[in-house]
Structure 1
Amino acid sequence: MTDPNIPPPERPEVVHHTTINNPPARSGGGGSWIALLVGGLVVVVLIIAFVVFQNGGVQAPDSTDVAVDIDLPRPELPDAPTMPDLPDMPPVEPPTVPQPNPAPST
């Protein structure tokens, strides 16, 4: 450790400095393709808007008279003699539920 009471050494007459130039780091670098993508989307939206607003899109029908038939044929069931009879249900006893314990006497 040096003594803080000692005066600093004399500086030399010629001081040599070395300068190092570091170019700034590239930030991003992928901004050009994003700009191309966004620009392409804007062009597509403008083309769609132009077609729709120039009545090139869906046009309303000229007449208001519309006839719609909603009668649909119903499916026919087969005749009753061709259907097999269902089997009888087997005898099943109802389940038993245990009874709660009697209340304690005090």
Structure 2
Amino acid sequence: MTDPNLPPRDDRPEVVHHTTINNPSTGGSGGAGWIGFLVGGLVVVLVIIAIVVFSNGGLNRATDTKVDLDVDLPAPSLPEAPKMPELPDVEPPSVPNPDPAT
């Protein structure tokens, strides 16, 4: 970087020439043709998938199928729950009445 506080230099030429050299590749057509082929193939595959999905599988399905929805099945019975033992009679504990603090 140059210091803006310094005076301009006198050793710089008035006209600066820049030369740009373009070297085209010599190895063929650039190699982008296979990308177009790949993208085109993917588009074709997606169109085929869309046709199959949006046409209900693409098959002619039978529409005269009868389904009998009146089905009677026996309900399962649960086993008897175990009987709990009888609790013994227990008297609650007795607590003496405390004397009021004086």
Say yes or no: TM over 0.5: no
Taking structure 2 as the reference length, the TM-score comes to: 0.33
Structure of higher RCO (CA pairs closer than 8 Å, 6+ residues apart): 2
Taking structure 1 as the reference length, the TM-score comes to: 0.32
